Structure 1
């Protein structure tokens, strides 16, 4: 415990995420830990002349939100790079690129976050849209799901990609079906050649990205994140921890091909401090539905020869081998699987992991779980696999999902209630910058299931709606469990970290439609107020 200022938050409506004591009126903190949770009367016994007292005025307090799946540093960089998230036409796309080049004078144009499903003609962008605008400035801008990107001719040239370049395993180099010329669209592993030649950000740029990311997290009441990191990120995170400048706790997740380094150093899950931890490895089984690369048992309705794209580490057997070895070394596994075939294949691998290795509290994770067969929900429960999902994606995907997979296959889409009712531990995240970071929008999506453009009060697959209480737990105590930290955070209990959030409206009492408009009033991290509206 860090001893320091004592703070008392009284006269509130405090939801604790603690099943034994779900509601309270007061919380007292000492330094970075919670000292007391209970009534105003009993809280008075902990208050003295040196205590900072905050009258919550009946406002709702919750545990600090934990985002269990995002790209934190990349999210910070997204705030520095070109933003195409609101683009709705070819003309707007061209205009945004031109304006960015004229104002920023960049050596490279990166970022993006575009979504062709928002475009008036729903067509993928083409390098011909921007070649005349960009000239010799290379451009690579990714789709909002990060599984597809658009490269201009200069970027393709620098990456050594031409119309004769074969598709890599687990990737697609898109070509015009008539002319066979490159369109500039690269999917999944095909993007790697471009990523390899994009200049590595400077240390100063990395620090700027972290500051922006932490500021955005605190504004949204987020006090912990699970971030997929790159080697350059370690230096930045460590330096900010030494300077006592971190304003959220970071679980550092590495790609599974880094397994050898972890095993050489004998690192296991949950290695680190209360601010920085590691010991989780991530892999990809497939791509995304929006990019047509989620791996399915049946073909896409809008592309009947396409079943999606399994990653090369699935098809060549490396993932199976790595997974067994990582688990044997007590490293946590988290595997991206969106399509029903991908989910099933990963559950097969998890079965083998459990069968071959000694029992331990392994907490296997399945990321996204967007389209799942009923029988695989039962398999997840049997194997005790955590579903790490991103609810706000459904508000976007719901506008076009049926066109991709057909009405009959929607029953297993974003099946939150089915997962929870089966007894599966579900944790929430945002997938930022591929999704909206705001947990209020995530809770709204899970509770209301309203799709962008849908008629008022109409819900998409309403049978999968969950309660506000269930959604809050997914963003707090369940997310803490996902990273082996339920004894440290995720609920408002004596002895846990003083990571708290005070919000503008009581989301347990207002209409579901209003939740997405709720604001964070204050964010308390490590016992200190790091954001006030």
Structure 2
């Protein structure tokens, strides 16, 4: 990787798609001091470089495609780094493979340490059984285990972990959470949902500073390998020490960041530590590599864990509509926090999955905007996964940004209709309906829930094929985005969502020299081949941070 001081560069003989309507295409560009100096024909930029950048390295891209660096609008960045060190349960095809992977890791785990990891999805298994502690107790013995489902809202603990945490038949369900129990004995099965996970997490050893630094370096390398030059992070989720934010700051001081981080701290910390919150800054005054990006809240859980909150019961759980998160209690607290943060000029983004959770959130946003008066607040709904058709115009009218994660369609599209039925599924991941209504879309991955891979997200938004192979023409195909709309979600839309449209999202003179070199042009390849496109190089602030 190049030195942080290497921020001048020249690219020639490229197919540059700037996404800037005023100058949509170019053959070459010049970078000075980490920002784009000029774009044009190769001969023009060669001449300019000879005069102003005589010592800058020159990359001859031989016709390869260049796009603005991708912006992932929703990550759990440090957790993603740790996931690269943990047991990977993504793609486990059945309970036997799930157990085998955990057993293999347990054999390598020293006594006193935990087996952590996740990515399992029971909906892809025959008959979709939720895992049970008994599956893994025999192969893990006294080694505590806690592994999360792909959505992070539900996890499995073995008996050793439950004993350490003191979770038993007499432990009550916390507000906003659930302990699954054996109906005959009342004993926990090992499955914990949402707020119940906190009962266990307090007993999991905290990673050391060195372990955190290793995880962050892995996350930065993963981002660079996928063309990601900026992330909008859910930072220090369930972590009141803000150790992730402090780690990001330490990397920034040492010039070790190779990806720009827009860090959002928990909304619930507004009551606990509002005086300690960093200042929200944007534009030229803001730090170009690390910014406090406001506060992030939660209304409900996930569809896979049946904790997404709906108006009508789940199709496969009669009488049950899901759960609101604990920060929605007592009543009016979520609205008060959002109102007060908004009064202080701090951006707010809130997770909402189920149609009722989304509708409740839009009501809150509307009342807060009316109470506090007009301003450029850019409220965000994270996920907007299941919507009432009548709520889509409300999102557009209120200028709420929809932070979407298209890659979730690949997994959820195979089983979502079992959960909520075909009618509600019509407005699940309703990307096209939102775009047609004029809603700004900000594309993300939700890493570690899905891979940190914008090209996968673009493919999913455009094709909407599912992992089970049952939807070759696309699941809910009327909700497909065009390639241009999908690429915009991971560039211009995401830049707008973080108040950075004057600094990134397009390749325009004066903006950050953040760009990605691709093996093919997503605008001209067959859409069925979008998934084949590879990242060849990633440049952030003029610095080459990935080279295949």
Q: What TM-score range do you get, normalising by the shorter chain?
A: over 0.9
The answer to whether structure 1 residue 57 and structure 2 residue 62 are counterparts is yes
- Indicate the residue corresponding to 1:32 in structure 2: 34
- The verdict on how the C-alpha distance between 1:11 and 1:357 changes in structure 2, with shifts beyond 3 A counting, is same
- Indicate the residue corresponding to 1:299 in structure 2: 313
The answer to whether structure 1 residue 213 and structure 2 residue 235 are counterparts is no
- Indicate the residue corresponding to 1:520 in structure 2: 535
- Indicate the residue corresponding to 2:76 in structure 1: 71
Contact 2:430-2:479 within 8 A present in 1 as well:
yes
How many Å separate the matches in 2 of 1:181 and 1:91? Answer: 23
Which residues of structure 1 form unaligned runs of 5+? none
- The verdict on how the C-alpha distance between 1:465 and 1:103 changes in structure 2, with shifts beyond 3 A counting, is same
Shift of 1:499: 0.6
Q: Deviations over 1:348-398 (max 9, x none)?
A: 110111011132210000000111111111111111100001000001000
- Indicate the residue corresponding to 1:362 in structure 2: 377
How many Å separate the matches in 1 of 2:272 and 2:441? Answer: 30
Q: Deviations over 1:148-167 (max 9, x none)?
A: 00011121122121112111
- Indicate the residue corresponding to 2:361 in structure 1: 346
Contact 2:512-2:541 within 8 A present in 1 as well:
yes
The answer to whether structure 1 residue 81 and structure 2 residue 86 are counterparts is yes
How many Å separate the matches in 1 of 2:99 and 2:277? Answer: 50
Contact 1:252-1:278 within 8 A present in 2 as well:
yes
Shift of 1:250: 0.5
Q: Deviations over 1:23-67 (max 9, x none)?
A: 222111112000002222432331214232222211110000000
How many Å separate the matches in 2 of 1:508 and 1:52? Answer: 28
- Indicate the residue corresponding to 1:462 in structure 2: 477
How many Å separate the matches in 1 of 2:440 and 2:23? Answer: 20
- Indicate the residue corresponding to 2:129 in structure 1: 123
- Indicate the residue corresponding to 2:22 in structure 1: 20
How many Å separate the matches in 1 of 2:273 and 2:346? Answer: 9
- The verdict on how the C-alpha distance between 1:87 and 1:232 changes in structure 2, with shifts beyond 3 A counting, is same
Match of 1:505 among 520, 526, 538: 520
Q: Deviations over 1:245-286 (max 9, x none)?
A: 110001111111111466425744337511110041111100
Give the TM-score normalised by structure 1: 0.97
Shift of 1:453: 2.3
- The verdict on how the C-alpha distance between 1:163 and 1:265 changes in structure 2, with shifts beyond 3 A counting, is closer
The answer to whether structure 1 residue 245 and structure 2 residue 227 are counterparts is no
The answer to whether structure 1 residue 529 and structure 2 residue 518 are counterparts is no
The answer to whether structure 1 residue 112 and structure 2 residue 127 are counterparts is no
How many Å separate the matches in 2 of 1:267 and 1:276? Answer: 11
3-state DSSP class of the match of 1:28?
Answer: strand
The answer to whether structure 1 residue 167 and structure 2 residue 176 are counterparts is no
Contact 1:17-1:472 within 8 A present in 2 as well:
no
Q: Deviations over 1:146-193 (max 9, x none)?
A: 000001112112212111211111101111234432111000011011
Contact 2:74-2:231 within 8 A present in 1 as well:
yes
3-state DSSP class of the match of 2:525?
Answer: coil
Shift of 1:4: 5.8
- Indicate the residue corresponding to 2:297 in structure 1: 283
Contact 1:337-1:368 within 8 A present in 2 as well:
yes
How many Å separate the matches in 1 of 2:56 and 2:194? Answer: 54
Contact 1:480-1:490 within 8 A present in 2 as well:
yes
How many Å separate the matches in 2 of 1:451 and 1:89? Answer: 18
Deviates more, 1:273-282 or 1:425-434: 273-282
Shift of 1:135: 1.8
- Indicate the residue corresponding to 1:157 in structure 2: 163
Q: How does 1:449-488 map to 2 (within 5 A)?
A: 449-455=464-470, 457-488=472-503
The answer to whether structure 1 residue 200 and structure 2 residue 178 are counterparts is no
Deviates more, 1:451-460 or 1:504-513: 451-460
Q: How does 1:181-196 map to 2 (within 5 A)?
A: 181-196=187-202
Q: How does 1:318-397 map to 2 (within 5 A)?
A: 318-397=333-412
How many Å separate the matches in 1 of 2:5 and 2:146? Answer: 48
- Indicate the residue corresponding to 2:239 in structure 1: none
Contact 2:293-2:498 within 8 A present in 1 as well:
no
Deviates more, 1:424-433 or 1:40-49: 40-49
How many Å separate the matches in 1 of 2:8 and 2:141? Answer: 59
3-state DSSP class of the match of 2:268?
Answer: helix
Contact 1:267-1:279 within 8 A present in 2 as well:
no
How many Å separate the matches in 1 of 2:428 and 2:525? Answer: 27
- The verdict on how the C-alpha distance between 1:160 and 1:456 changes in structure 2, with shifts beyond 3 A counting, is closer
How many Å separate the matches in 1 of 2:386 and 2:35? Answer: 40
- The verdict on how the C-alpha distance between 1:412 and 1:223 changes in structure 2, with shifts beyond 3 A counting, is same
* Number of equivalent positions: 532
3-state DSSP class of the match of 1:505?
Answer: coil
How many Å separate the matches in 1 of 2:417 and 2:277? Answer: 46
Shift of 1:455: 4.7
Give the TM-score normalised by structure 2: 0.94
3-state DSSP class of the match of 1:374?
Answer: coil
Match of 1:264 among 255, 275, 286: 275
Alignment RMSD: 1.6
Contact 1:446-1:465 within 8 A present in 2 as well:
yes
Shift of 1:116: 0.8
Contact 1:251-1:278 within 8 A present in 2 as well:
yes
Shift of 1:111: 1.3
Match of 1:11 among 7, 10, 13: 13
